[in-house]
Amino acid sequence: MTDARALRWLEPAGVALVLLLFAVFVGYEAWLIAPRTGLSGFLRTDFFAQWSFARFVHAGGGADIYNRDVLSRFQHDLAPALRQVFPFPYPPVYLFALWPLGGLAIGPAYIVAMATSLALFAAAAWRRGLGWSAGALLALAPGAVVCVVYGQTGLLTAAFLAGGLRLRPSHPVLAGMVFALLLIKPQFAILVPLALIAARDWRCFAAAAFTAAALVAASTVAFGWIAWTRWFAALSEHGAYVDRAVSSYVKPTIRETLAFLGASPSLAWTAAGCVAILAAAAVWIAYRRRAPLADAVLIAATLAASPYGFIYDLPVLSVAAVALYAARPPTWSALIDDASATLALATPAVMVLTTRFHWIGAVALLLLLACVTWRACFNPPACASR
């Protein structure tokens, strides 16, 4: 039996099993979300933080949102039973996205925020010609579900990164404008300029730069330059807060994983820096060669190179994983690609369900980056939808 014929029998069974497990996970997470009613149902979720930020800016708080004492008092006035601290770590441009939610109660705000984010991500991630199995894997990928449960921004940043990549071949100016929206979490935009330079896509690069500058100018007019100075001043303090107060079990970054395994801070930062350099090199080579999987390389490299990231930032990883799966050749060597893609898709679910394999996030990022880089730069596949 040839490789292609054997894989034709194995593929549907494997995909069906993975989809079944993902569907069970989706149902379980939906069951967890269902009891959330009223303010008390959200106090232990990250969405309370997002909603409190929206209420603060809607009330005219402006740049004072970077004053932890002022923000903390405001949050406790909203919910006297609150026992946590939720500082605001985002750049001032994010306040524009939050403002419309400030006039809503927390329940409707959650529905609007998550429904909008899911719709944007679906529009950005779905591509014409995507086969049934790849499409089903993308639709049931746990990363999006985990982000909805947290009530976080990962779907929004995923939509902006994947959306810019989808638009770039046909609408480079619009793609650049979408890329600029990654200013809400700039660590996920660090390799985009490198990719655009390598691809010599100057129209997209210029549009991104101009839009980013316009967003900075608009936020300066709306909230004052002091908002930007306070944000820059708060960065190191917030990094220390995240290291101290946020569980390492929800941080899939290379640096955090090494530190949690016992590496010294200097060794963890050095190793993470080396990975970031290799990731940047992979992006450069992939875009210079105009490789079919260059966009998947950029996505995987962005997450691998980011010094800060959380489990709810992983939805965009499913786009790279599905791209690798859809483009793999019909040979036995493709089983390595399948394993890498499946691990990347399943990682958010594993990290939510158990702390035993806390290192799986970093392993999944590195393995996916290695596989998409190999396929893109050194062994390009004959792309075929499945």
386 inside domain:
no
pLDDT at 140: 76
DSSP secondary structure string for all residues of 125-168: H--TT--HHHHHHHHT-HHHHHHHHHT-SHHHHHHHHHHHHHHT
Report residues of the chain scoring pLDDT below 70.
1-15, 32-41, 43, 128-135, 245, 329-333, 380-386
What separation in angstroms does the CA of 43 have from each of 74, 176, 246?
14, 37, 16
Per the listing, tokens 């959380």 go with 310
pLDDT at 384: 41
pLDDT at 40: 67
Query: Half-sphere exposure of 40 toward its Cβ, with a 13 Å CA cutoff?
Result: 2
Q: Which of 185, 337, 311, 176 is nearest to 249 (CA)?
A: 311
pLDDT at 29: 72
pLDDT digits (tens, 9 = 90+) for 129-151: 666 666 677 777 888 888 888 88
Range of the domain at 266: 3-378
Q: How far apart are the first and last CA of the chain?
A: 20
346 inside domain:
yes
45 inside domain:
yes
pLDDT at 113: 93
330 inside domain:
yes
pLDDT at 335: 77
pLDDT at 132: 62
Q: How many domains does the chain have?
A: 1
Residue 386 per-residue DSSP state: -
321 inside domain:
yes
pLDDT at 367: 93
384 inside domain:
no
338 inside domain:
yes
pLDDT at 373: 93
Q: Is the pTM of this model over 0.85?
A: yes
pLDDT at 5: 44
385 inside domain:
no
SS3 370: helix
pLDDT at 381: 55
